[in-house]
Structure 1
Amino acid sequence: MKKYLLLYLAAITLFTQCSQQAPVDLLIKGGKIYTADAGNPVVEAVAITGDKIIFAGSEKDAAQYLGGETQLIDLEGRTMTPGFIEGHAHMFGVGYNELNLDLMNIKNFDELVQKVEEAVHKAKPGQWIVGRGWHQDKWDVKPEKIVKGFPVHNKLSEVSPDNPVFLWHSSGHAALANAKAMEIAGVSLLSKENIAQGNTEGGEIIRDELGNPTGLFNERAMTLISKNIPESTAETDAQALDLAIQACLRNGITSLHDAGAGRENIALYQQFKKEGKLTVRMYVMVTGWDRDLVYEWMKHGPEIDSANILTIRSVKLNCDGALGSRGAWLLEPYTDRPDFSGMATLSMDTVLKTSREALKHGFQVCSHAIGDRANREILDRYEIAFKENTSIKDHRFRIEHAQHIDPKDLPRFATLGVIPAMQAIHMSSDRPWAIDRLGEKRIKEGAYKWQTLLKSGAKIVNGTDAPVEPINPIPCFYASITRKTLKGEPEGGYEPEEKMTREQALRSYTLDAAYGAFEETIKGSIEPGKLADFTIFSQDIMTVPENDILKTEVAMTIVGGKVVYEKK
């Protein structure tokens, strides 16, 4: 009997020892935790060791992971989600927007002129003044003179006679120059800059009725001015990147898809990673504007970072313009400019050639397309490339923006396995005036068709296109589920049947955004084994009334189990 008792006690001791878990580095509890894991959608506590999640479940079960060295974060009733992934932004643009003139919130052309005048007083004669963010369709008062929907340079030139000025439209697809900048570039009434009737290949100089340039340069015509702007220095690039990283962390962004990085940008990312300063996880698209760089990377092959900090495995192609500048490539002319249907800014032969090469070398292609013709043409080229290389099943090619799609092409995304990377905030900002560009029929049948795409089986990657829009994901989340402007208009939202549910909107910023970068097995949801990246919000974005969502703040950002931002 004594022998059996000893065996029983030994078995109990062994079971107890096996059930004791090793203490973790960090335990988070005390609030609602949404995991984006369909099998375990809401938990009470998360345990982390190193940069990985060890446990996600009840607070009671989490107690076994506590040890003397375990750091404890009490959410105090706040809400935690997987770290938000910005699915389409321009990292250096975010940083430089803080260094240069920020025109995003100006209310009219007179305010723009005033901002430039203030900058002139601080600048040396001859120093370039650059900025970005203006949008004529969002102004409360239209300028006195408009040509083809845009302001003219005269007032701007009056306050800056000795300083060249170049101000990018918020879309980045048009810009306004003053007289001094045009003088330096040699653009005038009589100039012969290989432009027929005001148009460049893939671009346009807008001129008045007398043939004088108005100062507005559309799409590739912008390079006539921008090539004269002194290049940024290594110091200012580093400053811009640091500012952009801090902006991401303040706004709960733990990962970012950079939609088009050049050689110098990539080198700086690599330097920041080496120095331990790249605290936002980067998924980088090599810019398609630099063909030599694209071919170098094709030869080199994808760079998939085992540390999950910096991955380079995609190519960004800019294939048409923006709706605000009327550069988006349409199947039919613009409703408010019947003589014009936008333009392709890149040869479709180049899209096909790049797609073929990318499939051979393991790269993803991400093509900018806003207009319905651009979307169709790119889907056509993708489909040809896929049929020629059927051995590659999981290519995950993307169309960036996919803003206006002909109804016939909507099912093709899911059928072809193409990912629409759409920025819901664009609907909120653009829809009130976009109807003037496209007319009611095209808006209702093919614009911002989120729910239609989701129901067809496509996965949507969400984001802001910063610095086109602020990088803050909260307004974008609000737009996703309400389809309203940030003023809460109209009642019920625009085309309300296309709203995302809150669960869909959360996935578009987390798990589906990770899928868009081939990273859904390592991030995007709160599950054991995945990276410990979290965004903590001041309130429950999944349950608060719609009208209260915009009051939400980012309380804390955690990357790899480390608190990298905390609101004071």
Structure 2
Amino acid sequence: MPAHDKKPPPAPAKLRQAAAEPKKAENIARRLAFVFLAAALAGIATYVSRVGHGGATRRVQAVTSVPESYAVCTDPGLVYTVDERRPNADCLLVKKDRIAATGTLEEIQAEWDVYQIDLVNKFYGGESKAKKPLKVIRPPSGSIIIPGLADAHAHLMMYGAKMQLNLEGAETIDEVLDRIEHYVASHPAPHDDGVRWVEGFGWDQTRWKDWRGGFPSKTDLASRPSLAGIPMALSRVDGHALWVSDRALELAEAKLPGGRWPGHGEVEGGEVMKDKNGKPTGVLVDSAMALIPVPPPSEAQMTEQLERAVKDALAVGLTSVHDAAVNGRMLNVFKKMADDGRLPIRVYAMANEESSEYWGGRFERLEDYGKDGRLNLRSVKLFTDGALGSWGAALLEPYSDNPSTSGLMRSSEEALKQTVTKFWNDGWGVNIHCIGDRANKAVLDIFEGLLQGNESAAQRRPRIEHAQIMRREDLTRAGQLGVITSVQPTHATSDMWYAESRLGPDRILGAYAYQSLLQLSSNKVLPLGSDFPVEGIKPLLGFYAAVSRLDGRGESPHGPGGWFPSERLTRAQALKGMTFDAAYASFAEGDLGSLSVGKKADYVVLDRDIMNEGAAFTDILATQVRATVIDGRVLHGGI
């Protein structure tokens, strides 16, 4: 399967989508007349029409309501289509929810004239006065238009939950404790004698100044009297370690068999961290986190979390999100919002349940589900290991900075193979979390065996999520097999300050190797995501990290040229990774991912040209989203 559309552009006749059977002509004519009249009346104050080839166009004010058919034009060449047949254009012609044409204004006008003549001849008896002018909208000079941005790996409801008590970015443990105290003070305990849990997300001990090293503990939480006695569960920034209070441990212990905490190696794929006396320190890693009885969110809470997440996603230019772990309760909330037409973005959900039993039969496959057809589910998300920041990534050799461990596999390689094979044989797309080189090798071994049958990778599109630390031979093998490696560029710039000390000088050469993965890919596909809320939700942060390999201050361990700069992506590669490649990874490249004729009219208007390779990287971080458009309608901002 090629990375770009290879079909020749459709002939003008194929763009004439308003034609219908002769028996329906009279009714269609009435509807068209009404549509054009309503659009003209509603749009007088918000857009200016341009008739023929020579009329001037000026912007009156931001357009937040557009007609069913219109053109949107930038300065010459500033529509970046991600379509190799015509990478740049001046204008898009939008008809209802689809792109009808791209090109210069004159070419767009010609397409419109053909369309109008066709309508007039069919429904108006050839009367020229029935022809409608082309409505042309112009964003401010210097703006660019790009395809709607996709995040190929994120967690929507987790993001909504994180925003309630966000611990990200704290530079000291005292700042973390200050935030928790403020939250507790502003959120009084319930009066119904119910247990009030405090949940937070985003702490990262590797970023704390003057920190003693290792994980924090329950004692650190108890150092603040106002927090004593409160059950607290605070997730590390990567979601693979839980920092809990003494009261949370007490509640958990009461539910443990015999009231005994499991010892080292007794929790498959997890660890209860203990002190020298064998007592829990207050940190649990990966599978062991399930021992803490944090009450699940209610449906109302999940709905609120999802509403917050999709609103924020639109504001930063996201039109599609691959949600990389949706359980059954979550899916019910997604479906209800989709049924009600309240799901504004496109969601490619990956089913997931934390269960040792096979759960594939609990989920129904969804294709263009809901009032607006924006919800899809055809794949599952599985996990192999933990994360590098919590020493949980499964490595083939011990950690360089902690030789006592090689990380954690959540299950044995043989058990993982049986699980993956069951989902594969049941027809599910299989997407697997792999951070460490042991995890990546194990999954590639499994995929290699499954792909030796009749089905190709292009048909099934198996994915490795993260593909973070890989042997050089496995970088090559993933490409040869056609396994999609879905990566998150901000993980590289977040981890680069400690990754080499954790992995050593040899293993680091196969880590965060984005340009290598892209070049070795058999179809040159590298979908990009963020893993938000682990990283920030703004896709332009990922774009910046991919092309610069620098942090937000313009720094890296290798200086201003970027961390391992040979692994940087070009701006064109990064944009394709956030549009077409993400669409391909979700089986949606026929409808999404590029501004190509016939595809959905999903696009984003930015206030400056981030695609200019000569522009400063800092300009990317300063870029603002002027408008996010889905199905041809402005859902955030204004043009």
Q: Normalising by the residue count of structure 1, what TM-score does the alignment of the two structures yield?
A: 0.90
Q: Deviation per CA, 1:329-365: give whole Å up to 9, x if none.
A: 0011111110100011134344323433344343210
Give the Cα–Cα distance (whole angstroms) in 2 for the partners of residues 30 and 469 of structure 1: 32
Which residue matches 2:531?
465
- Name the amino acid aligned to 2:236: H
Give the Cα–Cα distance (whole angstroms) in 2 for the partners of residues 522 and 189 of structure 1: 50
Asked if residue 514 in structure 1 is aligned to residue 514 in structure 2, the reply is no
Q: Deviation per CA, 1:415-457: give whole Å up to 9, x if none.
A: 11100000001111111111121112211x2111111111112
- Name the amino acid aligned to 2:527: V
Give the Cα–Cα distance (whole angstroms) in 1 for the partners of residues 264 and 421 of structure 2: 36
2:200 is aligned, of 102, 127, 131, to 131
Unaligned runs of 5+ in 1: 1-16
Q: Deviation per CA, 1:152-208: give whole Å up to 9, x if none.
A: 221312431121111000000001001111111118999854622375221111112
Asked if residue 262 in structure 1 is aligned to residue 327 in structure 2, the reply is yes
Give the Cα–Cα distance (whole angstroms) in 2 for the partners of residues 334 and 191 of structure 1: 34
Which residue matches 1:456?
520
Which residue matches 2:6?
none
Moved more, 197-206 or 345-354: 345-354
Give the Cα–Cα distance (whole angstroms) in 2 for the partners of residues 392 and 229 of structure 1: 39
Asked if residue 230 in structure 1 is aligned to residue 299 in structure 2, the reply is no
Give the Cα–Cα distance (whole angstroms) in 2 for the partners of residues 110 and 488 of structure 1: 26
1:140 is aligned, of 198, 201, 209, to 209
Change (3 A) 1:255 1:424: same
Indicate the percent of aligned positions where both proteins have the same amino acid.
34
- Name the amino acid aligned to 1:112: V
Q: Deviation per CA, 1:272-291: give whole Å up to 9, x if none.
A: 11100011001110005246
Which residue matches 1:14?
none
- Name the amino acid aligned to 2:482: G
Contact 1:120 1:163 in 2 (8 A): no
Which residue matches 1:183?
250
Contact 2:549 2:568 in 1 (8 A): yes
- Name the amino acid aligned to 2:536: P
Q: Could you say what the CA RMSD is over the residues aligned between the two structures, in angstroms?
A: 2.6
Contact 1:301 1:362 in 2 (8 A): no
Give the Å deviation of 1:230: 2.0
- Name the amino acid aligned to 1:506: L
Unaligned runs of 5+ in 2: 1-12, 19-35, 37-67, 114-130
Name the SS for the 1:101 alignment partner: coil
- Name the amino acid aligned to 1:495: F
- Name the amino acid aligned to 1:280: I
Contact 2:264 2:271 in 1 (8 A): no
Contact 1:198 1:207 in 2 (8 A): no
Give the Cα–Cα distance (whole angstroms) in 1 for the partners of residues 585 and 326 of structure 2: 17
Please show how residues 36-115 of structure 1 align to structure 2 within 5 Å: 36-64=82-110, 65=112, 68=132, 71-77=135-141, 78-98=143-163, 100-115=164-179
Change (3 A) 1:21 1:198: closer
Give the Cα–Cα distance (whole angstroms) in 1 for the partners of residues 330 and 358 of structure 2: 12
- Name the amino acid aligned to 1:56: T
- Name the amino acid aligned to 1:417: G
Change (3 A) 1:302 1:213: same
Which residue matches 2:406?
341
Give the Cα–Cα distance (whole angstroms) in 2 for the partners of residues 269 and 565 of structure 1: 20
Please show how residues 199-218 of structure 1 align to structure 2 within 5 Å: 200-218=267-285
- Name the amino acid aligned to 1:47: L
Give the Cα–Cα distance (whole angstroms) in 2 for the partners of residues 48 and 370 of structure 1: 42
- Name the amino acid aligned to 2:569: M
Q: Normalising by the residue count of structure 2, what TM-score does the alignment of the two structures yield?
A: 0.81
Q: Deviation per CA, 1:232-285: give whole Å up to 9, x if none.
A: 111111111110110110010000101010001111111111100011001110
Which residue matches 1:12?
none
Please show how residues 497-512 of structure 1 align to structure 2 within 5 Å: 497-512=566-581
Contact 1:89 1:465 in 2 (8 A): yes
Asked if residue 484 in structure 1 is aligned to residue 550 in structure 2, the reply is yes
Change (3 A) 1:567 1:191: farther
The number of equivalent residue pairs is 544
Asked if residue 553 in structure 1 is aligned to residue 621 in structure 2, the reply is no
- Name the amino acid aligned to 2:589: E
Name the SS for the 1:366 alignment partner: strand
Which residue matches 2:230?
163
TM superposition outliers: structure 1 runs of 4+ over 4 Å: 17-24, 66-71, 187-192, 290-293, 304-308, 388-393
Give the Cα–Cα distance (whole angstroms) in 1 for the partners of residues 571 and 100 of structure 2: 27
- Name the amino acid aligned to 2:145: M
Name the SS for the 1:102 alignment partner: coil
Moved more, 310-319 or 350-359: 350-359
Which residue matches 2:39?
none
- Name the amino acid aligned to 1:129: V
- Name the amino acid aligned to 1:223: A
Asked if residue 416 in structure 1 is aligned to residue 460 in structure 2, the reply is no
Change (3 A) 1:500 1:533: same
Contact 1:37 1:526 in 2 (8 A): yes
